[in-house]
Structure 1
Amino acid sequence: MSLPQELSTIFRIKQRSYKMVLILSLLEEYQTTHLQTFLLDSIAARFLSYFQSSLEEGKKVDSPPSGVASSWAEFSLSQTKSLLYTPIKALSSILEESNGGQAISFKPAVWDKLDEATINELEQYARTELDNYNNNLASPISLKSSLAQIMNSYIGAKSQPFSNHPLGQLLRHTLPNNLKKLSFIDENYKVQGSIGQGNWANIPWLAILDKRITDTTQHGEYVVYLFAEDMSSVYLTLLQGVTAPLKDKGRREGYQYLEQKVREMRELLPLENMQKDENIHLTASGLGRDYQVSTVAYIRYDRNHIPDDEQLIADLENMMANYKQYADSAAFNERDGVSTPVNTESVSKQIEQIKAFIIQKGFHYPGSLIENLYLSFKTKPFVILAGVSGTGKTKLVKLFAEALGANTGNKQFSLIPVRPDWSDPSDLLGYKDLSGAYRPGQLAEVLVEASKPENQHKPYFICLDEMNLARVEHYFSDLLSIIETQEWQDDRIVTSPLIQKEALRPEDQSIYGGLSLPDNVYLIGTVNMDETTHPFSKKVLDRANTIEFNYIHLGQYPDMMNPRNAIEISHIDNSFLRSDYLQLVDAYSEHRDLVHRTTEKLVKINGILEEIHSHVGFRIRDAVCFYMIYNERFQLMSEDAAFDLQLLQKILPRVQGSSATVKRVLLQLMQGALGKTLKVNELMEDASELYTTWSANEPTETVKHPQTARKIAFMLRRLEEDGFTSYWLS
């Protein structure tokens, strides 16, 4: 396929058939009108017409979203326009909206490449992908046959090589993809299967998880097919994750917790036509007891008596209805009506809401910055905003927080100016005076407020203004270390204590004793890099995403950007920002391919960075993978655009020096950013052609990682003109 790269992979993540039909609708509208901007009403009409006419012709197509309409015949144009929001956002790398969201077009850079031949090839690409998708709908894989295949062949397969085994493909990819096509399993659910991690599991499984309450089988509640170790039967179960509760509480208290939750859920849910007992027998080992204790309800299918597909699907739909009822109640439990769904559509809508709120306040930030800030928070609760003075770093933090309902009035936003004389953590956390009384610092007071049970679902933002006026490693070292102790406990992320209880007076222990960094607190440091400030160590850089503010366009005026309608503030639940993964193993099974692609890129980069002893370790590998996973999950940017930002924020800040080796490393990194081979030996003598091309304006050529390329060009210029370069000196 000779399509430009930004077009050749747009259907890699299918998201049902909506993206393919949207692209075809846009191309049909262009061929009819020859205009380059299309009214959303016209595109929605074409989109809806495709599904309605296909059904009239007896073709198998996607059903409309569950809960909206029972068939496309009942679907309205206004409902279609709302539906289009998701595929438009998923294709935001090539599409843009205008006229307040009432018009849509390809981005100018894409139009430049859409000659007649490219349009025809793009249309053929979309039709081929759509036909393949619909063919799978018309003849889906049999659930009965799949379950039977696993039970009949799994024991024999365990004596065969584990890697790339067909049963792994069946459980990890084929079955999850087919279950996602069922009308009652939409994008709010994560579907994953496993035959083990590197070695054959005794009990393979296939799980369906509501993203509002869990994203891992280690904790929370989910629906799962569990295969008995002897493959005599498979159980469709409503189950609780046992790994985290038993690890955090110990086996005795963990069992008590799981048993209590089982009783509560059985009282809450109808659970009709299911077994509600402990007679689930998977294995003779201790793991079997874990499953017995954690199972809420189940249906057993014996290997020689598996019902037909119609009954299996009906059972699954019944189980999912109960699960949805529980998830709906859990999402609103004791939270004043604040819902907590974290899925592609809700994240995209919330980010657009944040952008609109910021514009309404008369401020404008470059494209994808809010998405980048969100993904950085989601990856790790510590972000650094760097750049020249007056670019709006502190204001961005304040506006982002206010758009989520966090402000100084409700104490969810705190601005802490850093003083040059700070030399230890006491300036933030507090100290004991001569009488032994504890005098809390500003940060400790926020942590106390955020840790209160009634506030644990609210996000709290702490902005350390001009963070590097003092040496960060001196006053912030305790926080940097504590961030690395995060672990799951009772469905929350907890850390080791910042303040030891034993060191305090009894009257202070109840408030400050054992105070830790809760999972609803987000730390943001703003920094100006000049001769008055201190540089950052790799210990700091490893633990943060560093977002730079150095490219300034002054020709922006408030009256150009203010929206017509007032934007309401959303009091968002902390699950919107909180990390879902703490270790790569939590996300590996579902995102294996993306993790491998990302790691392979980092391995090549590490080979370059080793020359100057700046190569990265597992902490950065995992953080970059998490960032890429969240981006793919919420479909905020293209994969190349997201990795571009990670190169800029996690790799380049580590590079500095004055030697020829540093220059060679920058040139080698530039080759990867441009996606083409450079004459490195010649450029070692004079690299001016690179940084002349990569000025503050976009170059004419299209490259793989443009922001990284621009930054490297500036760093090369500093090296040649000043004899020294650093990420911070542009």
Structure 2
Amino acid sequence: MNFQEYCNTVDEGQKVVVEEAVVLTYANSTNQEFSIPPEAIRLFLIFILDEYNAVYEKWEATPTRKAMFFQYEEKSYREIYKSVNKNDLGIIHSAGGSQTSSLTKLISKIISFLAGLDYVPPEENTYLTKDNIGTALSNWNNFFKLEENNLVSRRKYSSIQSRFHGWMLQKGLSERTAYSYSATGIKFSDKYVGEIGIGESSLYELSSEGVINALNLLKSVPGWQEADIAGNSMYSAACKKLAEYFSSNESKNIVLSKPFLLLAGLSGTGKTRFVREQAKASGQLNETYCLTSVRPDWHEPSDILGYISRLSSHGQAEYITTDVLQFIAKAWRGIADKGLTIEVQDCHRQGKRLVVTGDSTVLNDVLPYWLCLDEMNLAPVEQYFADYLSVLETREWLWEEDTFIYFSDALLKPATINAVADTGKLRADLGFESSGYDELWQLICGYGLAIPFNLMVAGTVNMDETTHGFSRKVIDRALSVDFGAFFPNSYDDFLSDPPAIEHKTLSYPIWSNARNSVVLLDATADVKGIKSIAFLTAVNTVLKNTPFELAFRALNELLLAVISSQPQDELTLKAVWDDFMMCKVLPRIEGDSDKLATATGENVLAELNKVLAEQLSPIWNADKDSDQANQRPDLYREQSGAENALETDKVLRIACRSKGKLEWMTQRLDSATFTSFWP
């Protein structure tokens, strides 16, 4: 019997849904659902054991408590949950304060299940005794199968080593040198990392700065130093080259959490040029860039994806393509040309789909294809872009160690393709006429033309009397970027060459669902996403029962942002949260004072200001030059400098973005009695 089955046999009204290794969903007495990672509960139980006497004293000081510690009473148990550190276990602190009864029921079930005891209501026994907790923790891994950090790291070694090897070949190093550095050199140094106390088992687990620090420590280890001298500094050279690789790779390329961006801002700030420069970074601008000007008369998907016409000279059905559809087909050819396997698979309950499979190392060679929809909101986006928005949510990445599977629903349905009289003409119009694409074209005819994983769509947006606004359906499916806040213009830098600040290169997502993602384990500042879940829970508490309340999609995308950024320290983690507020939460908020009222009658903006001031501390108040130590890093820009400069030399420190935007929205509400995210 697993834990899900155990909960199903306990007939006392609480719904529990187990989603292994990421979240547990549990309901309160009104069937309102909440989520919590199993790891948070495990850490809470460890806390109880470590601080048992202190926790017991807090419980004992509550006048309404029951006779025994393991018997539930709301106020006394609320004190237990309040005793945990908010920074380490904020989600327990928050849920235990507001959903004391339902959280206690869930924890009681977990302990009784893992300790092999018959479940009884918490009022009789919560099982919070040292013996029961100790037994439950000793059996934890057997039932929840949570993986440890070092296991995931070992899985990644071969992939990182392969990419490091390929990068050196591109830099002009010989095959012999590239192999000696990536394999022999790093492997030899890894034998000594345990002696220098860096807390990791391989140099491949470190950042560029971490490798340099490790190298300095290795120089004091006699065995390593002697071997390095005897080998003409081969091992130190390998470490330096690995640091250079990490620096160039990590500081320049940003894997986004969504492949659809809304770039909003004043006219003339460089939004369209920004998209062009992103495509130009690939070195194949003509191949990977398409600019399409949106027309005000676009009102249906055929305006962007094409349609069947029977107005040909023969009266036969002919598909009229568009430059957008042709560019989507070009992105598919970009995938096929890199040798990735494109085939049909039965994708579980979703039926047969056209899927792409391959090794993670090949993704470095698959370029992003940038489609720029200029002046995107001159026409109603919800109308002409409806099909794309719907199919966008069907994209799915599945990972098994370093091998991936990608698929999505079709934009151009097979029934539509087969309704065309001359599929040969359609094939030529879409660029698949070469015999090398015979098999791919047959698969497309049978299963449709889906969204390719390397397609990036960026819509440039101006908000004025000639344009349309965005519904939450559009905002929820995009990364809304206030261009002036993320990429501000500086007149002082207009003539500087090279510019003092450079934009990082953006790339397509390679994850679609954070559930069961072992990649979360690598985010050192937020292992398993526990802190991020607590952060979003606090934010959503303010938004409850308002039109702006967040759902599971928001949680998934916040965790995807953590996965994409891999924050290694608290300031970077909070920078991820700050940008998430700017891209996904604040763009949803608009209206007058009545619409912006919370369930308690307070103003949403004022309440968010209170929550974020706590959750985003210390970056919330680090808006002065004198407090640069607590300023957050800019995840999308960096200081320009030498090509082989360390990442820490290039980090650009900035003030908290969401704080400034909240202040602007509040001032607008006060002066105009209406506010929105958009300028």
TM-score (norm 2): 0.49
TM-score (norm 1): 0.46
